[in-house]
Structure 1
Amino acid sequence: MPPTRRRRTRTGCLTCRARRIKCDEAATICTQCSRSDLQCLRSRNESLSESTRSRLAFTAKNNDQRLTQAGTRRQRVQRSCVSCKLIKKRCNGERPLCERCLKKNQPCVYDEDSSPSDTGNSIAENKQASSSLSRLSFLSPSETTVDFPDKIIARDLCKTFFDEIAPLRCLGFLHRHIFLQHVQDCEDGREPLLLSVCALATKSIKHRELWEIGCRWARIAQGFVLAEVQDISIHRLMCIVLLYEHAARTNEHRLCFILSGLASRYTQALSLNLEYDHDVMSTNGLLSPVERESRRRLMWACYIMDTMVACGLNHLQTIDTTTIQIQLPCDDRYFLYKVARITAKVPICFESTANSDAPISIENQDTHAFLVRLFLIRDRILRYVHDHADEEDPWRLMGPLADLEHWKDSLPPELQFNHDVIVIRKEQSMLSALISLHVQYHQINCLLYRCTIPSMLFPARSHTGLSRKASIEFLSDSRRGWFDHACAMSAIFKVALEQKPESMEDPAVGFSTYNAIIIKFLYLTNFIPPEERLLRMESILPLVDIDLQFLRELHEYHPSVRSACLAAERLVDEAKVKIYQDPTITLSESGNLVGVFNFPTESISLDHRTNQLSTIAQIRKNLPEMHAPDLASVPLSCGTQSPGDPGRLWLWIDQRADSDQSDPTS
């Protein structure tokens, strides 16, 4: 039997011919048009005329490419909206709102710059990515709208937050497993606290698209919080603290200043400075151990935030240390296992240890508690510098000195800075917190010993009560201790460089790194005889190079360190050249010549009472309307520049200073 010849179509309907698909020429309506619910156009003419093709092309162009040249609706979406691409959902391409965005009542934005082929390639490459975070790579930094994180992305970002950010500065006030379970059960990705956590987590990931997306999430969370700022609650305060940390990592200093004040007022309204009740062990069930510990950590995080912004100035600090009557944070193990523990209250680590030989109680405490102790001592030292340094009785400074010694002696073995602890902490994602703790200890010691050098205080002065009454040996030993602690920081930075990237999680260390560089040059040119400087330079420069290398590496992970890194590079280059050219040169950190003091010490102006890298100083540099009455009367010939000058150096070099004036006590 001969094979049946397949019937070949002659013309086909106009619709199928325009779509370039096979038509079966069925009566009335062909199968393809019936299946696609399209109008089946018929004609005796076997080909489309030029006028017909032009009309169909014009129709397609004016329908945003939703129609083909045949004037039919596209079966395949040529371009998806950003929101659907972000979470890999099917998009019907409708404009101005696609079906999914319309259903979710959210903005719908199309990326007009990407072609259909590019989108297809991106999807193909995305399927090969192992991490769920790579699904955010569709979004370009130029987009103005972004979808909220889905559960998988949110969970990954939350894990990053708990591993890298929560161990720092008491930011671990959220219980890991409870919060992750909440993320799993949460149906609304627009929750402000979740957005704040995810936004902050993106600042620990070297991914430009993630960085931009996190900034948008932070702005959305900020809008939620500030829209009803009068609704004071624990969760809202948590959002404010996390948004402050996010703003600090994106160099939004003005926002930091405002959020820190808002957080302080929230703590006062909620009375977080006091225990919820006397039932610390949670036997009555009014609050669980997790809730109590979470509130304590939240209060301490707000205190650290407030004291960092205030820099020891009474009129800037809104949380009074003497009013805090809560326990120090407990060990993370107990918080994780929801077990109540008694630690210690503020007075035991504040003034009582200065007159006591008994060791500090360290039971149930870890990095968080010891960091809080350091900030309490720092606050005390700064208040002495600003309020009592010129008094006739200078010896109240011995209290913080004794507290620092007690603090160091009480460190448990698991918080010592040695090889075994470093390896273990690295495995536990706690290395950066350990480094920050020890760097902060040496930084506070440098701050303490700086009180013995009146010309390097803020503001600079010729004498203080301590410099008048202390012996020459005491002042010399103090300055040596100032330099030794700066060198000790270099040893820590060297270890951190060997253990990166786990050691690069805290951008706040950059401020201490910059100070360590300054101290080395100031000590070299102010307290070492000119004939010995070039020889000592050979041993100091390798330490400076370590500091600078660490600062550069930190800048690679945290763009907020950029200003300190650039200033340090400029400082080191210029200082090296000047010292080699003239070994008798004297370096000054302030804008004044050594021994020339233009500002009255009783003035409360912020421009010369704070370090130029502090938050308030960064804010005032770029304010369009700024009062600076003290600076207005100071001649620029004395080395003072306007604080609004973007090119201002924080290390001043002046060859006119007399070498005899290098010792402030002379």
Structure 2
Amino acid sequence: MYLVNLYFRFIHDSPHSLFHEPTFKASAAEGTVSKPVLLAMLGLSARFATEPDIVARGPMYRAQATAALKEDLEHICIENIQACILVGNNFFGEGDADAESLYFGLASRMTQILKLGEINEIDDGVMREVKRRIFWTCFIIDTWASGGSNLSPQFRWRTKQPRGPLDEYMFYNMRSGDDDVADSDWKPGLWAHMVRLVGLYAQIQNLQQELANGVEWNESFIDESVQRLEAELSAFEEGLGPELMFSRENLASFVERGLGRVFIAFHLGYHHYYTLLFYQYLDHRRPPTRNGRKYASSCKAHAAIVCDVLKASREVPGAEALYNIVGHVTIVSSSVLLHTYLFGESHELEESRDRLSSNLESLVQLRNYWPSVEMMVSPCPSTPRWFLISIQIKRLVVFQKNCIQSMNAESYRFDRWMVKFLIAHALALEDKVDDSWSAASVDAANGDAHLERGRITQAMIMDIQNYDTET
């Protein structure tokens, strides 16, 4: 039960929501849990163990889970959907985006075959809610994984769909045999809000792909699209109420109810999507528009809030954010902070540098659980892809190079490369500029304040690259 408890502590209700915790733990104690599900769960949670010998068993659990699932793959059932999602997450943790997409695709197809979005009258309340959460988990992971691998989404939005996930505290306190919560008594949980946000995220993805693929930008179309999405996000925010906005006080309230990590996961996604929506306005060469400056400022503000949320997750027990996609969210926030430090005004420098340093602490923390080999931080083309956090750090290194280059050559712009950086987190990011980037080349232009800033941020990123060899 030790590793099961670690799963529910660090993974459950963050990247996915698949189980009713009390019911699952009771089944685990009785020994009636599906073998592929249990092994895949252990494969995810072993990395969080404090005993090295248990951590070392993680690869064995992951291999056994995959083998057990393959033996029973043609059996279309709830347990195998859960197993596919867990196995897919294991492959994602190893940086194998192809296998991740394959198993997530299987989960989505099984979910549709079993019609989990429709009510089955013989199910009790717990099972109905589990099915709803699996359905919406498939929608969320399909949106993220398809964008992350630059594939077409499989789990399309439907006019007929189940209601959103129930309030997490209400769901936790349900017991097997309970009736379903009536619509009149239903309250949305944080996962219900996440579902709405991911629907908007899918639209943001589509807009950025259109911009990247366009030969010429239609500024009127861009402004209209961004204004529409901003209005939808603003309406969403207004509907949340003050108790759901990010603050240390609100976080403490959710931690008291055992929901601190879900609250953190919600706000990481929420402010990440805002950052993505306004990201193209950081490009100083864009034609001036009525809202351009406001959008650039909003991008910086939400990237800073991501930093605050990450800092809280490191400092507040019960609010940890240690699932692997946090690495990508951290990198995108860091890229805005890095851009602000390199190109911003003098009054922005100290805060952006401090926040960037804070974000790098989160990357160091994540590397403790999603381990890397130091030589993999700057991989050559023949390097395997399974060291995910190192690959994410590499993305920040490449982004840094691009910013440095753009100081003397007008190469910084929002283009296909930038969209790949922002969304296609599962794909290797090629250098946009020449690899011959060193402290010497940065210092070559004596007296240039921007290049001096570049030297400082280069040193900060090198510190995290060298972290493993210094400890």
| 1:116-131 alignment, distance < 5 Å | none
Q: Which residue of 2 aligns with 1:317?
A: 153
Query: 2 CA distance for matches of 1:182 and 1:168?
Result: 22
C-alpha RMSD of the superposition: 3.9
| 1:122-521 alignment, distance < 5 Å | 155-171=1-17, 173-186=18-31, 191-272=35-116, 274-276=117-119, 285-311=121-147, 315-322=151-158, 325-336=161-172, 337=174, 338-341=178-181, 364-387=187-210, 390=217, 393-394=221-222, 395-412=224-241, 414-452=243-281, 472-499=289-316, 502-521=319-338
The one-letter code sitting in structure 1 at the alignment partner of 2:352 is I
1:169 aligned counterpart, secondary structure: coil
> Is the contact made by 2:66 and 2:87 (CA closer than 8 Å) also made in structure 1?
yes
2:420 aligned counterpart, secondary structure: coil
Q: Which residue of 2 aligns with 1:639?
A: 433
Q: Which residue of 2 aligns with 1:552?
A: 364
1:554 aligned counterpart, secondary structure: helix
1:479-508, Cα deviation, whole Å (9 max, x unpaired): 111111112222223323322574243332
Structure 1 residues 204 and 367: alpha-carbon distance in aligned structure 2, compared to 1, 3 A threshold: farther
Q: Which residue of 1 aligns with 2:351?
A: 539
Report the CA distance between 1:544 and its aligned residue: 1.3
> Is the contact made by 2:167 and 2:188 (CA closer than 8 Å) also made in structure 1?
yes
Picking from 386, 397, 407, the partner of 1:586 is: 407
1:568-591, Cα deviation, whole Å (9 max, x unpaired): 785799899x69xxxxx6299xxx
Report the CA distance between 1:653 and its aligned residue: 8.6
| 1:39-188 alignment, distance < 5 Å | 155-171=1-17, 173-186=18-31
What's the TM-score, normalizing by structure 2? 0.76
What's the TM-score, normalizing by structure 1? 0.55
Query: 1 CA distance for matches of 2:118 and 2:259?
Result: 28
Structure 1 residues 225 and 648: alpha-carbon distance in aligned structure 2, compared to 1, 3 A threshold: farther
Structure 1 residues 587 and 507: alpha-carbon distance in aligned structure 2, compared to 1, 3 A threshold: farther
Report the CA distance between 1:271 and its aligned residue: 2.7
Q: Which residue of 1 aligns with 2:390?
A: 563
| Counterpart check, 1:610 vs 2:428 | no
Query: 2 CA distance for matches of 1:572 and 1:324?
Result: 42
Relative contact order higher in (CA < 8 Å, ≥ 6 apart): 2
Report the CA distance between 1:558 and its aligned residue: 3.5
1:432-483, Cα deviation, whole Å (9 max, x unpaired): 2212211211111111112445x59xxxxx86xxx5xxx6341111111111
Query: 2 CA distance for matches of 1:326 and 1:259?
Result: 23
Structure 1 residues 199 and 213: alpha-carbon distance in aligned structure 2, compared to 1, 3 A threshold: same
The one-letter code sitting in structure 1 at the alignment partner of 2:118 is E
Q: Which residue of 1 aligns with 2:464?
A: none
Structure 1 residues 162 and 218: alpha-carbon distance in aligned structure 2, compared to 1, 3 A threshold: same
Report the CA distance between 1:365 and its aligned residue: 1.3
Query: 2 CA distance for matches of 1:614 and 1:551?
Result: 19
> Is the contact made by 1:192 and 1:239 (CA closer than 8 Å) also made in structure 2?
yes
Query: 1 CA distance for matches of 2:268 and 2:107?
Result: 26
Report the CA distance between 1:315 and its aligned residue: 4.9
> Is the contact made by 2:281 and 2:296 (CA closer than 8 Å) also made in structure 1?
yes
Query: 2 CA distance for matches of 1:343 and 1:655?
Result: 67
Report the CA distance between 1:566 and its aligned residue: 4.1
Query: 1 CA distance for matches of 2:427 and 2:149?
Result: 13
Query: 1 CA distance for matches of 2:289 and 2:295?
Result: 10
1:139-188, Cα deviation, whole Å (9 max, x unpaired): xxxxxxxxxxxxxxxx23222222332121342x222222222223327x
1:611 aligned counterpart, secondary structure: helix
1:393 aligned counterpart, secondary structure: helix
Query: 1 CA distance for matches of 2:157 and 2:36?
Result: 30
1:217 aligned counterpart, secondary structure: helix
| 1:619-638 alignment, distance < 5 Å | none
1:369 aligned counterpart, secondary structure: helix
Query: 1 CA distance for matches of 2:191 and 2:198?
Result: 11
Structure 1 residues 523 and 275: alpha-carbon distance in aligned structure 2, compared to 1, 3 A threshold: same
Query: 1 CA distance for matches of 2:312 and 2:425?
Result: 28
Query: 1 CA distance for matches of 2:152 and 2:443?
Result: 33
Q: Which residue of 2 aligns with 1:52?
A: none
Query: 2 CA distance for matches of 1:195 and 1:487?
Result: 38
Query: 2 CA distance for matches of 1:443 and 1:569?
Result: 16
Most deviating of 487-496 and 557-566: 557-566
> Is the contact made by 2:148 and 2:424 (CA closer than 8 Å) also made in structure 1?
no
2:291 aligned counterpart, secondary structure: helix
Report the CA distance between 1:427 and its aligned residue: 4.0
The one-letter code sitting in structure 2 at the alignment partner of 1:541 is R
Structure 1 residues 311 and 496: alpha-carbon distance in aligned structure 2, compared to 1, 3 A threshold: same
Structure 1 residues 231 and 613: alpha-carbon distance in aligned structure 2, compared to 1, 3 A threshold: same
Q: Which residue of 1 aligns with 2:455?
A: none
1:413-441, Cα deviation, whole Å (9 max, x unpaired): 55332333322433444322212211211
1:398 aligned counterpart, secondary structure: helix
The one-letter code sitting in structure 2 at the alignment partner of 1:265 is R
1:229 aligned counterpart, secondary structure: coil
1:410 aligned counterpart, secondary structure: helix
2:166 aligned counterpart, secondary structure: coil
Structure 1 residues 569 and 306: alpha-carbon distance in aligned structure 2, compared to 1, 3 A threshold: closer
Query: 1 CA distance for matches of 2:336 and 2:27?
Result: 48
Query: 2 CA distance for matches of 1:448 and 1:654?
Result: 34
The one-letter code sitting in structure 1 at the alignment partner of 2:9 is D
Give the unaligned 5+ runs of structure 1: 1-154, 278-284, 345-361, 457-461, 580-584, 602-606, 622-635, 642-646, 660-666
Query: 2 CA distance for matches of 1:654 and 1:380?
Result: 42
Report the CA distance between 1:561 and its aligned residue: 5.7
Query: 2 CA distance for matches of 1:232 and 1:640?
Result: 50
Structure 1 residues 288 and 363: alpha-carbon distance in aligned structure 2, compared to 1, 3 A threshold: closer
Aligned residues between the structures = 419
Report the CA distance between 1:290 and its aligned residue: 1.3
Query: 2 CA distance for matches of 1:489 and 1:570?
Result: 20
